[in-house]
Amino acid sequence: MEIPPAAPDHEVPDHEALDCRLPAHQTMPVVVASPHSGSNYPAEFLAQAAVPLAALRRAEDAFVDELFGAAPSLGMPLLAARFPRSYVDANREPYELDPSMFEGPLPQPLNHRTTRVAAGLGMIPRVAASGEAIYRGRVPAEMIERRLEACWRPYHLALSHLVEQTYSRFGAALLIDAHSMPSSVSGMGLRERESRVDIVLGDNHGESCAPELVEHAEYWLAARGLRVLRNQPYAGGFTTQRYGRPGLARHALQIEINRALYMDEARHERLPVARALERLMAGLLEEIGNQAVEILLPRQLAAE
């Protein structure tokens, strides 16, 4: 799997495709990332699209960067993609692509035999959230490298840097990969409150994060009246799998939030209750940060 090398220490990569918000001083061994909240749609992309902008926007994890916007004030860096998920999905392998989408010589090798590619949801998605084809016809294969260079590689260069800098500073690092999920995913309509899932915590089925951290996050959220599941239907994607290496003191936890909790999905607008959810997520980040210090850091650092 391709990951760019981390930038030299203290040099956080700056790029127009990214929104990187740094704390005045990093006090927590936590990095927060939002790969799917971007909404800057290139004009060239919109001209290629066979579906309206509203259909493309349904793939966004809309406003998630705002829900976790307290991270820098809590001593944690926050990285958010500005580019939209339907243009480039940063939570996929770089060459996880459907070859039938493209015209011209393809880079080799492609990872085209994944369930995500089969569903049309590769690094360059083939279909919109509605299942409709995004493009009118085949697109030039040269577009693959252009989008990797413009979006995917800058995002992971910055993310790798933040994680490794956090590890160097604290001796451990926890990446919170922040997402949202449609309320329709698992019977989460407002009339089905008893079966509604509010939060899904994904730790790659126990492989990407210290279990004590996941258990504590689940307990904290449940104590505040939220229904929480683990790894169903989301266990984590490329980011969780790539950056979650507990044996190397690098942990990753994916958090999925039911969109019905904070937005009108049809109108693509925040609800008034979004502000309360922002405060709740701030509390969660603070709690997770304190637990990361207690559980992950070498004893002498945790005691300082």
Q: Give 20-63 pLDDT, tens digit per residue.
A: 999 999 999 999 999 999 999 999 999 999 999 999 999 999 99
- Please determine, for residue 10, whether its predicted confidence score (pLDDT) is greater than 70: no
Average the pLDDT over 129-151 and give the result: 96
In which element (H, E) is residue 299 found? helix 299-302
- Are 83 and 59 contacting, i.e. CB atoms less than 8 angstroms apart? no
DSSP 3-state of 87: coil
Q: Return the DSSP state at 246.
A: G
- Please determine, for residue 192, whether its predicted confidence score (pLDDT) is greater than 80: no
Q: Return the DSSP state at 133.
A: B
Rounded-to-integer distance, Cα 49 and Cα 195, Å: 36
Average the pLDDT over 140-161 and give the result: 97
**Assessment of whether the complete model's pTM goes beyond 0.85:** yes
Q: At what angle do helices 274-296 and 211-222 cross, to 10 degrees?
A: 150
Residue 9 pLDDT level (bands cut at 50, 70, 90): very low
- The whole-chain average pLDDT of the chain stands at 92
pLDDT the model gives residue 109: 87
Rounded-to-integer distance, Cα 210 and Cα 206, Å: 8
Q: CA 236, 36, 177 angle in degrees (round to 5)? A: 40
- Torsion of the alpha carbons at 147, 152, 155 and 161, rounded to the nearest 10: -130
- Please determine, for residue 288, whether its predicted confidence score (pLDDT) is greater than 50: yes
- Please determine, for residue 165, whether its predicted confidence score (pLDDT) is greater than 70: yes
